[in-house]
Structure 1
Amino acid sequence: MKVTLDDVALEAGVSRATVDRVLNERGNVSPITIERVNRALYSTNYLLEPVAEHKTAFYTFDFIFPTPHSRYLDFYSRQVDAIKDCYHASHINARIHRVEAFKPQALATKLLEIGDNTDGIAFVALEHPAVKKAVDLLVAQGVGVISLVSDITNTQRLAYVGIDNRAAGRTAGLMMGRLLDKGETGKIGLFIGSHAYRGHEEREAGFRGVIRERFPHLRLLEMPELLDNDARAQEVAMATLKEENLLGIYNVGGGTEGIAQALKKLDRANDTVFIAHELFDHTREYLIDGTIDAIINQNIKHEAYNAVEMLINYKSGQSIQSGLLEPRVEIYLAENV
C-alpha cells in the first residue's frame, strides 16, 4: 500500500501542509518539527529521496552489533538495514558487522579493521581499555564514531545514541516500589545482563538508588550475570524462585523471555511484579497476559535514524546534534500496548 503525506503527517503529529513545507524546503518550520517530520518520513518508508542537503553525497557507514543474536539487536539490525532503502537516493550505504559478545579485544580489532574503509562507525560499546584505545585512534584519523545502546567513558567518540539508562533504571525502581504493597518487607531479584555494558550498570545504579532512597523496606538480591541469554536466564530464575519468595524482579538487559517462562512454569506470574526492558512481539504477549507488569522501552527506529543523521552531520561539517531530539524513556503497560 502506497504511503501518503497524510500517513506521514499522522506519524509526525503535524498537518499535511507542514509535511509539504518540509519536503519542499519552504521554511517557516521549526528545527524540532523538521526533525519530527524527517523521522516520520523514515519510519513510514515514504522517504525514497531524503530531504535536505545530502542528495549528492555518497557515504558508507558501518554498524557493529554483538553475537549471539538477541531479538533486540536483531530488530536494531533490521532498522539499520532499512536505511539502505530510505537513503538510497542520497547514496548512503549501511553495512552491518557482528562480533562475538563480551570479547573486547575482538571488538577493538573489528573497529580498527573497519576504520580503514568507512565514513563513520556506530557500535554497541564495551567498557574496556582496548575498545577505548581503538575508538580514540579512529577519531584521531578523522573517522566519526558513535556509541549505540550503551555508552563508553573517557573517549573522543562523537556522541552516544540511546536513552538515559540511569533514568530508565530509576523509572523501573519507582514503578517497582509503587506496584508493590506499601510497607511490605521482602526481596527484589535484580537480574544483570553484563557489567561490561555501561548502560546495564547505569540502569542497575539508578534502580538501586531509588529503592534505597524511597523504598528501604525492600532488599535487593543480585543475580549472576545473564549475558543476555534466555536459557541461562530461565535456569537462574527457576533456581532462585524455588529458594526465595521474591516480591518482584527487575531485569536490566536481555533474557526477559527466560525469566517470564520461569515465572509461568512455577505459577508465580500473578504474585511477582516483573519489570523488564524492550517491547517486542514476545514481550508484548507476556505484558498482555500479565506475566510482565511493565516494560521500559526505547524507540529503535528513531535511534537508528539519529545515528545516521549524526554521522552525515559530521561528514558535512554541521553540528552533530543539529535538529535531532534525544531518545526518551518510554513506559508500556498492558493497557497501552
Structure 2
Amino acid sequence: MTDVAARARVSLATVDRVMHRRKGVKERTTERVLKAALELGFLSPEQSAHIATPRPPNIVFLLPAGTNPYLRLLGDKLRARAAQNGRDAASIRCIFIESFNARALAAALRHHAGWADGIAFMAIDHPEVREAVETVTAAGVSVVTIVSDLPHPGRAGFVGLDNQSAGRTAAMLLARFSRRSSGSLALVAGSRNYRAHSEREAGFLALLDEMYPDLHVVGVREGHDDAGENYRHAMSLLEQHPDLIGIYNVGGSSNGIARALVERGRAADVLFIGHGLTADTRRLLIDGTMDAVIDSDPDTILSTAVSVICAARGRGPALHAQPAVRMDIFFRENLPSGSGIAPLAGL
C-alpha cells in the first residue's frame, strides 16, 4: 500500500480509503490509486473492477426516542435488518435521538452526514431542521423523510401515509361507529411540529365540518407520544366532558389513553381509534378498549426508504415518485397472524 500511495502521489490513508470503498475520495483520485495498484500487481483486474463499482451506501435512520411502541418496532426491525446485511448490501445504522427536539435532530443530521451517504428520518417541521437538510444535501448526502414529511427540494423522497386521508378516515370511523348525531370528540396528538400529526388533525376536522357538523371537537391535546402524558390528558378529558363519545390518538403510545378509559369505566362506551399496529394496540383491540387501528406497514416503510436512497446513489432502479404507503385499518376481527410484532415485556 505504501508503494501504491507513492506511485499514485497520495497519502497512505487515501489508499486505505479507496481499498475499503469509504466515502470522501474524489473519483479522479480513486482512478489514479486503482491504476497504480494494477500496475504494481497489488490488485487483480477483478479486484480493481469490484472496488471501482459504486459501493453500497451507508444509511442512517434517525428515530425519536421515547415510549412510542411503533417507533421502537421500527428500531427493532432496523437492527435485525442491519445484522442480516451481506457484503454488498447497504450498511444501516439506527440512532434514537431526543424526541420533539428540533435542535437535536438538526445536530444529528449534520453529525451523521460524516459517515452516511443517505439519512432517513422522521422530520420535525422547524427552521433549524430545514437548514440542516439544506446543509447535508448540498454536501451530497441523500435525505429521505419517513412517517412525517418536511417538504424540501433537495430531499430524495417521503415514505409514509397520506396523513390528511388518515385523519379523514379516523373521523369517518368515529362518526359512523358512534351512530350519534351530536356529542364531543377529542384528539390527542404527539406534537403539531410533526407535519404528519398536523395533517391528520386537519383531515379529521375537515371531514367533521363537511359531514358531521353536530359532532364537535373539544380540543387537541399534545401528549408527545408519551404514555404518561396521554393518560393524564385522557383522564382530564373524561372528567371535563361527560358527553365525550370518541378519542382519536393522532400519534403513538395509545396504552396511556386506554389505561384512563379502563380506570374510569368508559372503555365500553367511548370509541377509541389510534395509529400503529404493535403488541399493545393489538391487545387493546382484542379486549375491546380500542375500536380500530390505522397502520402503515413498518417493513414497507423501511424497505422503501432504503430503495429510495439506493436509487439516489445509483445502486438501484430510478424511482421517479413514491406513492403514499398503503393505509391498513385493523379491527379485532381482521388482525393478521404471524405479523412479526414483538410480544409485550413480561408476557
In the superposition, the TM-score normalised over structure 1's length comes to 0.80
> Against the structure 1 CA distance between its residues 99 and 207, is the aligned structure 2 distance closer, same or farther, given a 3 Å change threshold?
same
CA distance in 2, matches of 1:320, 1:99: 31
**Equivalent residues of 1:146, 1:307 under 8 A apart:** yes
**Equivalent residues of 1:194, 1:227 under 8 A apart:** yes
1:82 to partner: Cα distance: 2.2
**1:210 correspondence with 2:230:** no
Of residues 86, 97, 105 in structure 2, which corresponds to 1:107?
105
The superposition leaves residues 178-216 of structure 1 with CA deviations (integer Å, 9 ceiling, x where unpaired) of: 111142x11001112101100000000011111111111
Unaligned runs of 5+ in 2: 1-52, 336-347
The residue matched to 2:150 in structure 1 has which SS?
coil
1:290 to partner: Cα distance: 1.0
**Equivalent residues of 1:136, 1:155 under 8 A apart:** no
1:248 to partner: Cα distance: 0.7
Which residue matches 1:17? Answer: none
Which residue matches 1:177? Answer: 175
1:299 to partner: Cα distance: 0.2
When Rg is computed on C-alpha atoms for both structures, the one with the higher figure is 2
**Equivalent residues of 2:122, 2:148 under 8 A apart:** yes
The superposition leaves residues 167-186 of structure 1 with CA deviations (integer Å, 9 ceiling, x where unpaired) of: 11111111111111142x11
Which residue matches 1:257? Answer: 255
The superposition leaves residues 116-140 of structure 1 with CA deviations (integer Å, 9 ceiling, x where unpaired) of: 2211100111000110011011111
The superposition leaves residues 25-61 of structure 1 with CA deviations (integer Å, 9 ceiling, x where unpaired) of: xxxxxxxxxxxxxxxxxxxxxxxxxxxxxx9833211
Runs of 4+ in 1 over 3 A off after TM superposition: 317-320, 322-326
Letter in 2 for 1:297: D
**1:244 correspondence with 2:241:** yes
Alignment of 1:154-303 (within 5 A): 154-183=152-181, 185-245=182-242, 246-303=244-301
Of residues 323, 334, 337 in structure 2, which corresponds to 1:336?
334
**Equivalent residues of 2:67, 2:225 under 8 A apart:** no
CA distance in 2, matches of 1:325, 1:130: 27
> Against the structure 1 CA distance between its residues 235 and 324, is the aligned structure 2 distance closer, same or farther, given a 3 Å change threshold?
closer
Unaligned runs of 5+ in 1: 1-54
The residue matched to 2:97 in structure 1 has which SS?
strand
The residue matched to 1:269 in structure 2 has which SS?
coil
> Against the structure 1 CA distance between its residues 127 and 324, is the aligned structure 2 distance closer, same or farther, given a 3 Å change threshold?
closer
The superposition leaves residues 91-129 of structure 1 with CA deviations (integer Å, 9 ceiling, x where unpaired) of: 421011122111111111111111122111001110001
Which residue matches 1:23? Answer: none
Letter in 2 for 1:308: V
**Equivalent residues of 1:180, 1:247 under 8 A apart:** yes
Letter in 2 for 1:219: H
CA distance in 1, matches of 2:262, 2:144: 39
Of residues 76, 79, 92 in structure 1, which corresponds to 2:77?
79
The residue matched to 1:223 in structure 2 has which SS?
strand
Moved more, 198-207 or 219-228: 219-228
Which residue matches 1:32? Answer: none
**Equivalent residues of 2:162, 2:324 under 8 A apart:** no
1:253 to partner: Cα distance: 0.3
Of residues 294, 315, 319 in structure 2, which corresponds to 1:321?
319
Instruction: Report how many residues are paired.
Output: 282
The residue matched to 1:203 in structure 2 has which SS?
helix
**Equivalent residues of 2:284, 2:290 under 8 A apart:** yes
Letter in 2 for 1:235: R
In the superposition, the TM-score normalised over structure 2's length comes to 0.77
**Equivalent residues of 1:313, 1:322 under 8 A apart:** no
1:320 to partner: Cα distance: 4.6
CA distance in 2, matches of 1:145, 1:323: 14
**Equivalent residues of 1:56, 1:90 under 8 A apart:** no
> Against the structure 1 CA distance between its residues 237 and 95, is the aligned structure 2 distance closer, same or farther, given a 3 Å change threshold?
same
CA distance in 1, matches of 2:73, 2:145: 17
1:143 to partner: Cα distance: 0.8
Could you say what the CA RMSD is over the residues aligned between the two structures, in angstroms? 1.8
Moved more, 325-334 or 199-208: 325-334
1:281 to partner: Cα distance: 1.1
Letter in 2 for 1:269: A
Letter in 2 for 1:197: Y
